[in-house]
Amino acid sequence: MGFFLIVLLVASGVVAVVNGGVGGFPARVLTLERVFPANMTTVDVEVLRTRDRVRHERILQRFSGGIVDFNVVGTSDPYYGGLYFTKVKLGSPAKEFSVQIDTGSDILWVTCSSCSDCPRSSGFGIDLTFFDAGSSSTASTVSCSDSICSSIIQTSDASCSTGNQCGYNFQYGDGSGTSGHFVTDLLHFDTIVGPSLIANSSSSITFGCSTYQTGSLTKPDKAIDGIFGFGQHRLSVVSQLASRGITPNVFSHCFRGDGTGGGKLVLGEILDPNMVYSPLVPSQPHYNLDLQSIAVNGQMLPIATAVFATSDNRGTIVDTGTTLTFLVAEAFEPFVNAINSAVSRVTTPVISKGTQCYLVTSSVTGIFPEVSLNFAGGAAMILKPENYLVHGDPVGGTPWCIGFQKAQNGVSILGDLVLKNKIFVYDLSKKRIGWTDYDCSNDVNVSITSSKDELSDSGSSRTTSVLQALLPHIVAVALGSSLW
């Protein structure tokens, strides 16, 4: 087997075609110029590192539309933690952190090494990692005078009461919370910029370093390194990378619902011909959709559309940080009644610990009805029984219970229970969310598009062959008699 050398022409040079190639390929002669003056005998490593980092970001921007693929771990099953998480690499040298995937919040944060009361072990079987800015050669704190802090502090999440560090204080819907300060450091990832072409990449991002936690975040059985917020705020990782042209302004996930869970998370667009879309409700801090009606077994439930309308403290939100699904009271009761009516002849509905459950030991498929959540734009979200039922207490003899809960306020929340076994695409450029049923244990097709490209009205996208873009700059020089 011979060897070949791939040369990326980045310096000023000339390519000439001459006779005498190998294996039918014409030979190439390259005249390259030195990047540094000839009389410079040594170059400081930091200078090289800085130059290379700038160049790599420029390359990524030139071949914009690269996607980033994250592995997903976890499950929607409440008995096994009820959350999905992924791993991110931060700092220099890079350290790996396990963080919950949360579309209901905006900021990526990880636990600081200075957090004295934070959990030191996890029931998820992972080794907890703590971020130490002093151990990372590329880390820097965000000062109060920084423009990033100035924009954040306009919200209730940030403050500058402690020294000159830009601090934060987040409170979540389950009563848990975290506080700390913002830092800037490198996020390391593999960017897919073309068919079989992957670039080892990094980008400087701003994220939170947690020094104090409360509520469920302090419980070792569900402890994790932090939370990966995928909201629309300019400080979310999605927004930071998309604003620089490193990734498209779209992200997608496909959470596996069976077995041990898992799935896929992509900073990019997962493609599927069966995708349906509904527009995001404008000017909302969360991913609000316009839910208009609910049907059970094809029968529309007697629910006034107005109860789903978006206003202050009302509406319907897509939130991967929520395990179950919550319906406003006006919709919850009709929903449960319709399910009970549909299955009353083949199973016995019972109340267990305040939850509607069912004494059925066989498969729920064919017994429980199909549910349709109908959204603006004619987009229906079809729920199979496993999308609204959860395993009950087997000891108590109630193997299946309704996983929907009554919302304590006017906000309906679509959690992991209904999101699993579906591709979800958050198209922030088009201000819409798309979904379709999918077996998330299978591979997915991902569009490699520029963040500046617009999707066509039909939903198809213009894909970019990065290999073609690179072709004028790539020269294969064969060494030996053949390539193989």
Residues noted as catalytic? 102, 319
Could you tell me if 28 and 22 are in contact, meaning their C-beta atoms sit under 8 angstroms apart?
no
Could you tell me if 310 and 279 are in contact, meaning their C-beta atoms sit under 8 angstroms apart?
no
H helices of 140-195, where? 147-152
Handedness of CA 363, 364, 370, 372 (dihedral sign): negative
Could you tell me if 446 and 464 are in contact, meaning their C-beta atoms sit under 8 angstroms apart?
no
Query: How far is residue 110's CA from residue 442's CA, in Å, rounded to a whole number?
Result: 30
Residue of 167, 182, 211, 176 whose CA lies nearest to 100: 176
Long-range contacts of 114-117 (CB under 8 A, 24+ apart): 114/211, 115/180, 115/210, 115/211, 115/212, 115/213, 117/212, 117/213, 117/218
Query: How far is residue 207's CA from residue 167's CA, in Å, rounded to a whole number?
Result: 11
Which DSSP symbol is given to 79?
G
Q: What are phi and psi of 237, to 5 degrees?
A: -60, -40
Query: How far is residue 236's CA from residue 287's CA, in Å, rounded to a whole number?
Result: 14
Query: How far is residue 432's CA from residue 425's CA, in Å, rounded to a whole number?
Result: 8
